[in-house]
Amino acid sequence: MYERVRDIGEKIKSMEIRGAGRIGRATALALKYFSEDFKGSKEEFLKELEEVKNYLLSTRPTAVSLRNAIYYVVNRKQGSTLEELKESIIKNAEDFIKRSEEALQIIGKYGAGRIPDGATILTHCNSSVAIQCIVQAYRDGKKIKVFNTETRPWLQGHITARALAKEGIDVTMIVDSAVRYFMRDIDIVVVGADTIASNGAVINKIGTSQIALAAHEARVPFIVCAETYKFSPETVIGKLVKIEERDPREIANPEDFPGVKFRNPVFDATPPEYIDAIVTELGVISPYLAYEIIKEVMNVGIEGKEDRH
Ligand code: RUB
């Protein structure tokens, strides 16, 4: 495997590169690097491209951004000669990264619009899109406060808290299980998404669905911020989103607990009835419009029969 591809793949696996948006962009970059570094015939290129694709797909199973980046870069390649194919992949990868970065900025503006002046916001895990909306609201001059969960077991909340504090935002970190206790102080919940299914369910960091439940109970608006490449075309044809289960040692050392089993699913699904809106770069939509997004943007509808990978 090419060194620069392997380097990105291993960083995604070990979560040095994490968060669905970054995973998508890193995947596109790995495919660009492969095309740049490849030496050999056209036949070898196509064969090795399949291997690289499958390797990247094996790094993390839940974030559809990874699959959609591969689809955008590889399946839309054009050309008949080796040089044309390589150039097309490099161009598609650069396009994907550029569009992803632009989407982040646009969602930041739309999402900030949904945050009232004086609001106390709750966020979970570390979503670059959710943070973008919060930071934008703050830069727009809104007097906001943020509560953020530490996000066990990987503690992505530490990254969020530091980023918000660095920006000058009033941020309070709480343990995940304190969410319902504090919900009475919260005006709006803002989270990101790993994957959005065609029925509008949002798959995000484990614990998101519990937060949505507590928000629903307290009648606190629950907003999801996600680029359109977080929507999953495969779910239109009945595929279920695979929930990643990671090493239990992320929770505790099993050797310290003889006879105890551990489970470590790292994502969960929040049903659409608990979601007030999804903020995308195409606008703010109801979760029930997920199918339309998939149909419009990805050109895959009920008629899209086959698995794309
Ligand atoms: C990260 C996570 C984030 C989404 C969205 O999980 O659940 O909320 O990926 O992030 P992990 P972004 O840390 O396991 O990758 O908005 O940055 O795409």
Can you spell out the DSSP letters for 91-152?
Answer: HHHHHHHHHHHHHHHHHHHHHHHTS-TT-EEEE-S--HHHHHHHHHHHHTT---EEEEE--T
The per-residue pLDDT for 297 is 83
Q: Are residues 200 and 206 in contact, defined by beta-carbon separation less than 8 angstroms?
A: no
Identify the residue whose tokens are 């969020």: 160
Please give the single-letter amino acid code of residue 143: K
Return the residue whose CA atom lies nearest to atom 12 of ligand 1: 127
- Distance from the CA of 306 to the center of ligand 1, in angstroms? 27
Task: Decide whether any atom of ligand 1 lies within 6 Å of the 204 Cβ.
Answer: yes
238 is in an annotated binding site: no
Return the residue whose CA atom lies nearest to atom 6 of ligand 1: 19
Res. 202: pLDDT tops 60? yes
Structural domain boundaries in the chain:
3-101, 106-298
Identify the residue whose tokens are 């992505």: 156
Q: From the alpha carbon of 24, which atom of ligand 1 is closest?
A: 18
Q: Annotated catalytic sites, by residue?
A: 125, 194
**What is the three-class DSSP state of 23?**
helix
List pLDDT tens digits, range 256-294.
Answer: 999 999 999 999 999 999 999 999 999 999 999 999 999
CATH code for the domain defined by 106-298? 3.40.50.10470
Task: Decide whether any atom of ligand 1 lies within 6 Å of the 156 Cβ.
Answer: yes
CATH superfamily of 3-101: translation initiation factor eif-2b, domain 1 (1.20.120.420)
Res. 304: pLDDT tops 70? no
Indicate the average pLDDT of the chain.
95
List pLDDT tens digits, range 34-73.
Answer: 999 999 999 999 999 999 999 999 999 998 999 999 999 9
Task: Decide whether any atom of ligand 1 lies within 6 Å of the 19 Cβ.
Answer: yes
> How many angstroms separate the CA atoms of 257 and 203, rounded?
31
Task: Decide whether any atom of ligand 1 lies within 6 Å of the 127 Cβ.
Answer: yes
- Distance from the CA of 83 to the center of ligand 1, in angstroms? 35
**What is the three-class DSSP state of 169?**
coil
Establish how many alpha carbons lie within 13 A of residue 161's alpha carbon, considering only the half-sphere containing its beta carbon: 14
The per-residue pLDDT for 1 is 75
